[in-house]
Amino acid sequence: MRPIDMIVIHQTDTPTATVESIDRYHRSLGWAGIAYHYVIYRDGSVHKGRLNSEVGAHCKGDNAPSIGICCVGKGTALPVGAGYMNQAMWDALLRLVDQLISAYHIPVSRVVGHRERLSGREQGKTCPGFDVDTIRYRLNEERAARCPVVHGSDPRGIDVEPRVT
């Protein structure tokens, strides 16, 4: 398995994009099939693209260690904050990213948007069209809520003896 320590989030320009149509388009560019590992449709369903064990082709310079997730957008070249994400898509994206960062031990700070990366900035990308801080903030909040800090105990847990019953 290749080392994975980053998630890059994208949006499509086409509202009717599917895994199959993206796969056909990327093959027409001479690529080895769909460039993303996951695609989130407008109904919030999550669809598999490239295998996670395979390097994607979605963010130049960052493909080797990353997983690419693409959210199906509403129209062409949406500016940041255009609000194309609906509740079902937010929920699906958060759940998927949360599962992936747990599975691969990816720091929340390494969940990024395409336009935050060097190649995205150089290409003038608005992708994924929303502030990815929102996702990072929610992930930190939800993960902290699942692991409450017990005040007064050793954070490493070494002062806790197993209880014998």
Lookup result for tokens 């806790």 = 160
Q: State both tokens at 26.
A: 């990327």
What part of residues 95-114 is at the interface with Zn ion (CB under 5 A)?
A: 114
Spatial contact of 4 and 110, defined as CB atoms under 8 Å apart = no
User: Taking Cα atoms as reference points, which of 23, 62, 59, 53 lies closest to residue 39?
Assistant: 23
Q: How many CA atoms lie within 13 A of 84 on its CB side?
A: 26
Tell me the site size for Zn ion, rule CB under 5 A: 3
Q: Which of positions 28-47 make contact with Zn ion (CB under 5 A)?
A: none
- Least Å distance, CB 23 to Zn ion, is 16
10 near Zn ion, rule: CB under 5 A: yes
Nearer to Zn ion (CB atom), residue 83 or residue 157: 83
The 114-153 site mask, x for binding Zn ion (CB under 5 A), equals x------------x--------------------------
Nearer to Zn ion by C-beta: 6 or 127?
127
Pair of tokens at residue 34:
């769909």
37 or 114: CB nearest Zn ion: 114
Looking at residue 161, the DSSP 8-state letter turns out to be: P
> Which residues is 7 bridged to in the sheet?
67, 111
Restricted to residues 68-87, the positions that interact with Zn ion (CB under 5 A) are none
Residues at the site binding Zn ion, with contacts judged by CB under 5 A: 10, 114, 127
